Amino acid sequence: MSHQIRIVTESELRGAVALDIAAIDVVESAFRALGEGNVVMPSIMSMELPQANGEVDVKTAYVPGIDGFAVKVSPGFFDNPKLGLPSLNGLMILFSAKTGLVEAVFLDNGFLTDVRTAAAGAVAARWMAPTNVETAGVFGAGVQARLQIEAAHLVRPFSKVLVWARDEDKGEACANDIAATLGIEARYEADPARVVAESQLVITTTPAREPVIKADWLHPGLHITAIGSDQGAKNEIDPAALAKADSYICDSVRQCAALGELRSAKAAGTWTGGNPAELGAVILGKAQARRSAQDITICDLTGTGAQDTAIATHALAAIDRAGAGTVVETSPGESGPST
C-alpha cells in the first residue's frame, strides 16, 4: 500500500504558516486539551553532547481530538555561531494518531517552535493580561522578543513598546524592527525597572540565569509572561515575585517545577503555595487568573509538546492548502511479514 509523506522546508513553511489569530487559536486549543486532562505528554527527553557544547531536547504529546501527533527534536549547539550557523535548529515530524504512519517532516530549523511559542504568549496575554494594555515591555532582543510582541499585539493592540536588552545596539535594532512591523511607537529603554513600571504587559524572552525582573517592581495592573526559562539553571523572575503576584499560572506544573520560574521559587523557598493552576484550567474556567484590572498576574511558559502537536497539524493543513512541500512515496510493509 503506497503512502505519501510531505517533506517541507523552512522557507516553504515561512511562506504558508503565519503568526496570526488562527495560530493562536490552535495553540489555545492545545492548552484547553491539557486542561481537560486527556493529553498524553511524556517528560522531555534531553541529551547533552559535552564534546560539542551541544544539547538536544525531544518533545511529544498526544492530544485527543487532533488527528496527528508531533515529535519535535530541538538541538542547541552553542559553538555554531563560530561556524556562521545558528545555535538552534531542529525539525518536527507529524505522525498519524490513527496509524502511526509519518504524515510530514517539517525541516523547519525551529521556525514552528518560534511560532507556537509566540502564540502561547498571546494565549497567556488573552486570558491573563489586563483588558487595556497601552504599553508592552519586552526583555530580550532576539527572534522571540519580536514574535512575542507581534503575537501579543493581536490580542492586546497596545500603542507603545519598550525593549530592554543587555546589549543596547541589539535592543535598538529590535525596537526598530517592532516599530516597522507593527507601525507603532517602540524604543529601547536602558532601565529595566522603568520598562516594568510603564508597562501593563511584560514578556521576558532572555536566557538569564539571574533574575532580570525584581519582585518590588511589580505594580497593580501588571501581567508578566516569562518564556525564557526552559532549563534547570535559568531564571528570569525574582523568586519572591511569584508568591507576591495575585495569580501565578504555569503552562505545565511538572515542567515549570523542573525548568521554569517555579523551580527557582521553590529552590529559594519563596513558593510554598502548593501546585499552581495551569493555563488550560484558566481557559476552561476551572481556575481564575485575573479577577480585576488591578491584579498582578504571572504566567510561566516552558513550552509543551501539546503545542508542537497543535502547530504541526496546523502547519500541515496550511501546506496542503498551499500545495507546498515535496512528496515522497513509501510503501509501509512492502517487505513481507511483520514481527
Rounded to the nearest 5°, which phi and psi values hold at 300? Answer: -110, 115
Among 18, 52, 180, 293, binds a second copy (CB under 8 A): 52
CB of 58 to a second copy, least distance (A): 6
Interaction residues for a second copy, span 54-73 (CB under 8 A)? 54, 56, 58, 60-62, 64, 69, 71, 73
User: Would you count residue 139 as binding a second copy (CB under 8 A)?
Assistant: no
User: Would you count residue 131 as binding a second copy (CB under 8 A)?
Assistant: no
State how far the Cα of 325 lies from the Cα of 288, in Å rounded to an integer.
43
Stretch that binds a second copy, among 88-96, 124-132, 246-254, 283-291 (CB under 8 A): 88-96
206 or 297: CB nearest a second copy:
206
User: Would you count residue 203 as binding a second copy (CB under 8 A)?
Assistant: no
Q: Give the contact letters, 173-202, x = binds to a second copy (CB under 8 A), - = no.
A: x-----------------------------
CB of 313 to a second copy, least distance (A): 15
97 or 317: CB nearest a second copy:
97
Interaction residues for a second copy, span 9-28 (CB under 8 A)? 9-11, 14
Q: If we measure between CA atoms, which residue out of 28, 63, 94 comes closest to residue 251?
A: 28
Q: Residues binding a second copy: what is the number (CB under 8 A)?
A: 78
User: Would you count residue 84 as binding a second copy (CB under 8 A)?
Assistant: yes
247 or 252: CB nearest a second copy:
252
Among 33, 102, 202, 318, binds a second copy (CB under 8 A): 102
Burial of 218 (0-12, 13-18, 19+ CB in 10 A): buried
247 or 309: CB nearest a second copy:
309
User: Would you count residue 260 as binding a second copy (CB under 8 A)?
Assistant: no
User: Would you count residue 77 as binding a second copy (CB under 8 A)?
Assistant: yes
Contact 160, 322 (CB under 8 A): no
Residue 156 CA, chain-centre distance (Å), reads 17
User: Would you count residue 324 as binding a second copy (CB under 8 A)?
Assistant: no
Among 183, 285, 323, 337, binds a second copy (CB under 8 A): 337
User: Would you count residue 331 as binding a second copy (CB under 8 A)?
Assistant: yes
- Cα angle value 151/167/179 (rounded, 5°): 35
50 or 285: CB nearest a second copy:
50
Contact residues for 168 (Cβ-Cβ < 8 A; gap 6+)? 188, 190
Burial of 273 (0-12, 13-18, 19+ CB in 10 A): exposed
Strand partners, 163: 138, 188
State how far the Cα of 226 lies from the Cα of 255, in Å rounded to an integer.
13
User: Would you count residue 243 as binding a second copy (CB under 8 A)?
Assistant: no
Q: Give the contact letters, 264-293, x = binds to a second copy (CB under 8 A), - = no.
A: ------------------------------
Stretch that binds a second copy, among 17-25, 34-42, 258-266, 277-285 (CB under 8 A): 34-42
